[in-house]
Structure 1
Amino acid sequence: MLRFAPSPTGDMHIGNLRVAIFNYILAQQKNEKFLLRIEDTDTARNIKDKDKDIMFLLTLFGIKWDTLIYQSHNFQHHRQLAEYLIAQGKAFYCYCTKDFLEQKRQEAKDKHQAFRYDDNWATLHKESNNHPVVRLKSPKKTLRFQDIIKGEIEFAGEEIDSFVILKEDLTPTYNFACAADDILYDVDYIIRGEDHVSNTPKQILIHQYLNYSKNIAFAHLPILLNNQGKKMSKRDDASSVQWLLDEGFLPQAIANYLILIGNKTPQEVFTLKESIAWFDISKVAKAPAKFDLDKLRFLNREHFKRMNEQDLALLLGYKDISIGALAKLYLQESSTLNELRQKIDKIFVKKSLLLKTENPEFQKEILDLQNILLAMLETMDKQHISYEDFKNEAIKHSNLKGKHFFKPLRFLLTGASNGPELSDLFPILRFFLQDILRR
């Protein structure tokens, strides 16, 4: 069993999506079940309907789960396991007040020392504190685990204090709920971000204390960096999956990039489904990878090229397959859906709306040529006319030459002053000439 375990506390981060993709690929490769576990134990931070947003995005990216669970539904199970650990002498009640612990942290900080919890403090405030937490006993020994990406990692016993597993309200902490549910659902392979490396020895210790001997494989993915070489945060627009989608990046291109970045792949452009045949988690680089938006733009353009013209037309909001073919011509200068839509919409928008920003002389040239072209079209075979014939006929009727002809002509046909060659666009535009020119 592999799992993806997001928290419904905010928008999906690009790093989280990468984790979901890698887990899904391995589940497919190993022919194992894929579990979606909504980690909603932090009730104060949960955001309404964020779980639905997560599921929508996963579905959009082609990630299907076999089982869906909400971690909060297992609270009773978590409490029973905590009671078992207390009975075994491997966990204990701690009555320390928050003020006392904060005081001890400040004292350690003032001495420039790392804060360490002392088990002898556990009963100091037993008479005054009716809401103790439950702590797991420090192992007092070195814990080691083999990471598929990073190699062997070890934590000295003194680095792991007796840590909280049940809070004052008897809800489980992240590490305890995570470790308990990994047992409950027989998870045997865990891929997650390297910010979880420090959590891993605590979760291994919980498994050991619960006499769970199954060998779980771990792979901690290096962090993604922004353009400044710093860890991507919520302040970076590109860190948000929804922002990338809103900007017009295709799910298949985003998935392609997240698999490609910091990885050795046999090809540069591929789909999630195609990567299942050759993906190797052990080939992911140990070093952090920089998120390059320009590289994503390149991949986005390549996936547009792969797309059939009918699907592309529908994405742009048009039903005619010819619009998809037209859009592909604009891939010379566009790389996102938004950029393509802007180019195509300008072709069919009322030109009078676009003319408002042009100088009066140019406006007159355009309007004069528009009337000439409309009159000319009445006697032409629009289905079979070539660009050369159309151009020559228009020059003859208008007596215009050079930029005084081509500039207003391009504006009338495309709504822009530059773009792909008109000779390339015309074989498609000819089917819409009257519709375009009458606007």
Structure 2
Amino acid sequence: MLRFAPSPTGDMHTGNLRAAIFNYILAKQRNEKFLLRIEDTDTARNIEGKDKDIMFLLTLFGMSWDNLVYQSHNFERHRQLAEYLLQKGDAFYCYCTKEFLDKKREIAKENHQAFRYDDAWAELEKDKNPHPVVRLRAPKETMGFHDEIKGDITFAPNEIDSFIILKEDGIPTYNFACAVDDMLYDIDFIVRGEDHVSNTPKQMLIHKYLSYEKSVKFAHLPIILNEEGKKMSKRDNASSVQWLLDCGFLPQAIVNYLVLMGNKTPCEVFTLQDCFTWFDIRKIAKAPARFDIDKLKFLNREHFKRLNEQDLAVLLGYKDSAIGALAKLYLQEASTLNEIREKVDFIFAKKALLLENLQNDTKAESLEILEFKDAIQTLQQTLLAMLKEQDFSKAEFETFKSEAMQKSGLKGKSFFKPLRFLLTGHTHGPELSDLFPILRLYLNDILRN
């Protein structure tokens, strides 16, 4: 079984989503179940409702889970196994206070040494501290594992000290709860971020002391860098899955990009389902991958092209499939749902308001703006008069253009620029001859705004 194990302590970031996608693909490839495990052991930092947000996003991105587990529901089982380890002598009570350990850390820092817990400290403050933690005994031998991406990784005995598995309040630590639950739910392949590499030998040691011998594969995903080549943090907008969605990136494009980055794939544009046939976790690059928003925009346009016109219209908030066809024409210059929606909405917006905004934003001289406004008014009156006389729903653009030019008396730039603004709400964009076969169906609505 494979698992995705997020914490309900904040918004999902792109690294989380990438791990979820890879685990889901592997589960499908291996014909195994996919477990969603909400790791809610950090009771102080848990945020109410974040578990539901996680489930919503997984569903939105096309992933379903076979089992749902809240780690806190297994606290009693965690405590039982900690007690078992205490009885075996593989774990022990530690009475060190925070102040004692802080002082030892300060001494190590002053001596330019790495801080290491010493088992001999365990009972030095037994009289002062009635609430001990439980620590697992450090290994005496080298710990190592094979990573499907990074290769063989080893840890010398002095790199792992006796670590806490139960806090003073009886709540299990991350490593203990994680290792026990992986054992309880028969997890045999763990894919997660490389920040967990140092946790892996600790979790393997827990399994060893619990006499759990099942072979478990590991793959630790390289970190994602921002566009400046630095480790992506919460300050980077693109680190937030919700920010990407709010900007108008399609879930299928985001999935495509997260699988593609730092990976060798047989093609550039694909769906989550396509990955089931060819995805190979061993082809993920060892080096960090840089997040390229322009590449994501390209993929977003490609996935817009794959949408049928009715679905695209609905995404934009319209019912008519012709609006979806119109939207696709704007893919020459728009990359996200927000950008396309603005283009389409401007077509049906009140042109007087758009013209006022244009006048406020433009750097053109006031005389030029006044001439533009006069031309728009003249052309609008001309076109409305033409609509009363005939039906343009089947007219060709050349016929419409010639008649409008003749009746308005406008020519060249003084004609085409106002015409584009009246029909689209913009002063530039796709060729009017390409747009007109669809715009002609809505001329009444467009010109009366």
TM-score normalized by structure 1?
0.99
Pick the aligned partner of 1:403 from 402, 406, 413: 413
Q: Does 1:362 align with 2:372?
A: yes
Pick the aligned partner of 2:432 from 405, 422, 425: 422
Count of paired positions: 439
Partner of 2:362: none
What is the rounded CA distance, in whole Å, between the counterparts of 1:235 and 1:166 in structure 2? 33
Q: Does 1:302 align with 2:276?
A: no
8 Å CA contact 2:36–2:67 kept in 1: the answer is: yes
Q: Does 1:168 align with 2:168?
A: yes
The alpha-carbon deviation at position 182 of structure 1 amounts to: 0.2
The alpha-carbon deviation at position 20 of structure 1 amounts to: 0.1
Q: Deviations over 1:77-96 (max 9, x none)?
A: 00000000000000000001
Letter in 1 for 2:173: T
Letter in 1 for 2:35: L
Letter in 2 for 1:231: K
Partner of 2:192: 192
Partner of 1:348: 348
Partner of 1:283: 283
Partner of 1:254: 254
Pick the aligned partner of 1:380 from 376, 384, 390: 390
Q: Deviations over 1:156-191 (max 9, x none)?
A: 011000000000001000000000000000000000
8 Å CA contact 1:141–1:158 kept in 2: the answer is: no
8 Å CA contact 1:257–1:296 kept in 2: the answer is: yes
Q: Does 1:71 align with 2:71?
A: yes
The alpha-carbon deviation at position 240 of structure 1 amounts to: 0.2
Letter in 2 for 1:429: L
Structure 1 ranges of 4+ moved more than 6 A:
none
What is the rounded CA distance, in whole Å, between the counterparts of 2:202 and 2:188 in structure 1? 17
Q: Deviations over 1:360-400 (max 9, x none)?
A: 33212111110100101222232210000000000110111
Q: Deviations over 1:2-50 (max 9, x none)?
A: 0000000010010000000000000000010000000000000001100
The alpha-carbon deviation at position 352 of structure 1 amounts to: 1.2
Partner of 1:58: 58
Letter in 2 for 1:366: I
The alpha-carbon deviation at position 299 of structure 1 amounts to: 0.3
8 Å CA contact 1:95–1:125 kept in 2: the answer is: yes
Letter in 1 for 2:28: Q
What is the rounded CA distance, in whole Å, between the counterparts of 1:339 and 1:152 in structure 2? 46
- Give the fraction of aligned pairs with identical amino acids, expressed as a percent: 73
1:128 alignment partner, SS class? coil
What is the rounded CA distance, in whole Å, between the counterparts of 2:229 and 2:385 in structure 1? 60
TM-score normalized by structure 2?
0.97
Give 1:26-425 correspondences, 5 Å limit: 26-357=26-357, 358=359, 359-425=369-435
What is the rounded CA distance, in whole Å, between the counterparts of 1:398 and 1:97 in structure 2? 88
Partner of 2:16: 16
Q: Deviations over 1:239-259 (max 9, x none)?
A: 000000000000000000000
The alpha-carbon deviation at position 101 of structure 1 amounts to: 0.4
Letter in 2 for 1:314: V
Q: Deviations over 1:268-319 (max 9, x none)?
A: 0001111111101111111110000000000000000011000000000000
Deviates more, 1:281-290 or 1:349-358: 349-358
Letter in 2 for 1:24: Y
8 Å CA contact 1:247–1:337 kept in 2: the answer is: yes
Letter in 1 for 2:445: D
What is the rounded CA distance, in whole Å, between the counterparts of 1:200 and 1:327 in structure 2? 49
8 Å CA contact 2:148–2:282 kept in 1: the answer is: yes
What is the rounded CA distance, in whole Å, between the counterparts of 1:312 and 1:20 in structure 2? 27
Partner of 2:364: none
8 Å CA contact 2:392–2:400 kept in 1: the answer is: no
CA RMSD of aligned residues (A): 0.6
Structure 2, unmatched stretches of 5+, are 360-368
What is the rounded CA distance, in whole Å, between the counterparts of 1:231 and 1:204 in structure 2? 28
Structure 1, unmatched stretches of 5+, are none
The alpha-carbon deviation at position 125 of structure 1 amounts to: 0.9
1:191 alignment partner, SS class? strand
